[in-house]
Amino acid sequence: MTHTASKERTSLVPKLESSPCLKGERIAFTGILASMTHAQAFELTLQNGGTPSEHVSKQTTMLVVGDEGWPLEDDGQPSVKLQQAERLQATGLEVQVIHESQWLTLLGLTPNEDQQLYTPAMLSSILGISVYVIRGWARAGLIQPVRKVFRLPYFDFREVSSARRLSELLSLGVERKEIEQSLRRLPSVLRGDERPLEQLQILAHRLGVIVRDSIGLKLPKSGQRVFDFEHSEQPVDSCHESKSDLETINLAAFRELRNQPAASDVPAKVDWLVEGCKLYDSGEVNEALEAFRMAAMTTPNNSDVHFQMGECLYRLGNSAAALERYYVSVEQDNEFLEAWTQIGCLHREVNDLEAARMAFLVALDIFPEYPDAHFHLAETLRDLGDIETARQHWQEYLTFDSRGPWADIARQRLK
C-alpha cells in the first residue's frame, strides 16, 4: 500500500469528538443570575448543546437557580418555576435543581463567587450601604466572610444580596413568618437550608433588616431601636434603658479598675470591646466611644480597640483624633490593613497626598492583592499628577471588581 493510499484511508475514519456538555438537556432558569443575564445564559446553553426554555414543563431536565439572593417572588413565595420543578420531582420525573455556580462548573467555567470576593468597602460602594452597616452585619453573623487576610474580611456577594432581597420583600409588606415558611419550603436549594433559621429571624422584620443584640432589636442602617413584642411582655424605651444601664456598669467597672494594679491580668467583668461594638452598631457612637475607652484601660495594646475608637472619632467629626488612633492601631499591629487604608484616606481628605500615598503603599507592601488600596492609591496618584502609575493601579483594581461603582470610576479614568 502506498503512502498516498494510506493517507486517503485514514481521512475516511470519522474524527472522535466529545459531546457538548449540555447535549440532551432542556434547561430553565429562575431567580437573578449573578454572573450574567438570562439572555446570555440562553445563548451559552445553546452553544453547549442544550435547549433553553422560558418555562418549566415535563420536558425540562434541569432548573438553574440564580445565585443573586433567594429565589423568592415579590409576594414572598418560592418562584413559580421552582414550585413546578419540585412538583414534577414528586411525580417521579428527573428534574435536576442546581445552583448557578454548579451550572458554571458544569460548563467548565470558574464560578463567579470564586473570582468576585468583596471587602467591606467594596460592598459598601456596590450596595449603597454604609461600610459601618456591613461591618455590623458581619459582627452580628448576618454575613459570613469566606476568607480573611490580615484581619480583613472578604465576602461573597450573595451574602449581602440575600439580606438586601429580604429587606426588599419586607418593605413590600410581606410578613416575616411568611418569608420563613417559604425558605423552609426550599429543600432543594442550598440557600434555603444553609442559613440557620435563628439568623433569618434576625434578618426578617416588617421594618426591614434588623439585628438582635443583648439589648434588643435595632435597624442597622439607622441604629433605631425596635420594640420586640414577641420577646417582651411590655414595651419599654430601649434606648433610654440601655444608656442608663451602660452608665451604671461604666461607673462600677471604672471603680473596679481603679482598685486593680495597672498591669493586672484579672479580666474585667464587662467585655468593653464587645459592648462598644454593640453600641456602635446601634448608632450610639458617643456611648460606644466611652466603652472603647474603657476597653483601652483594660487592654491598652489591643489594636482592635484603638481602631474602633478611630472609627467612632471619625464619625463624630474629629478626624485629627481619629487619625492618631489609627496610627496607634498600626503601632500595635503593623499589618492591620484596614487601619493603614483609613490612615491613607484621612490624609487624602486633608490633601496630604504624599502621606496618603505612603500609607496605601504600606498596605500593598503587606498584601499586594488588596483591592481597596489599589483604588485609593490610583486616585491619590491622579491627584499628584502621576497618571501613568495611577493607570496601573486602576487596571489592577479591575482584576478584582468589574461590577461596582469603583469599577465604573476606574474604567472612566482609564479612558
Residue 317 has pLDDT above 70, yes or no: yes
- Cell 475514519, residue? 13
Pairing of strands 51-53, 26-30: parallel
- Structure confidence at residue 1 (pLDDT): 44
Which segments of 117-216 does DSSP mark as H helices, in order? 120-127, 131-140, 157-171, 176-184, 190-193, 197-203
- Structure-block grid coordinates of residue 202: 434576625
Chain segment 131-167, per-residue pLDDT in tens: 887 887 787 666 788 888 888 888 887 777 776 776 6
Q: Let me know: does 133 contact 221? Beta carbons within 8 Å.
A: yes
- Structure confidence at residue 116 (pLDDT): 75
Q: pLDDT > 90: what percent of the chain?
A: 33
Average pLDDT of the residues in 98-127 = 76
Average pLDDT, the chain: 76
Average pLDDT of the residues in 120-129 = 82
- Structure confidence at residue 293 (pLDDT): 92
- Structure confidence at residue 211 (pLDDT): 54
Chain segment 229-277, per-residue pLDDT in tens: 444 443 333 333 333 333 344 445 444 544 544 444 444 456 888 888 8
String of b and e for 159-185 (b: at least 16 CB within 10 Å)? Answer: bbbbbbbbbebbeeebebeebbebbee
Distance separating the N- and C-terminal Cα atoms of the chain? 64
- Cα separation, 65 vs 71, in Å, equals 7
Q: Which residue has the higher pLDDT, 216 or 393?
A: 393
Number of residues that this document lists for the chain: 415
Q: Which residue has the higher pLDDT, 4 or 352?
A: 352
- Cα separation, 338 vs 179, in Å, equals 36
- Structure confidence at residue 388 (pLDDT): 95
Q: How buried is residue 292: exposed, middle or buried, by Cβ count under 10 Å (0-12/13-18/19+)?
A: buried
Average pLDDT of the residues in 384-412 = 92
Q: What pTM was computed for the model? A: 0.59
Lowest mean pLDDT among 21-25, 115-119, 306-310: 115-119
- Structure confidence at residue 139 (pLDDT): 78
Q: pLDDT > 70: what percent of the chain?
A: 69
Q: How far is CA 287 from CA 5, 28, 257, in A?
A: 92, 53, 19
Residue 383 has pLDDT above 90, yes or no: yes
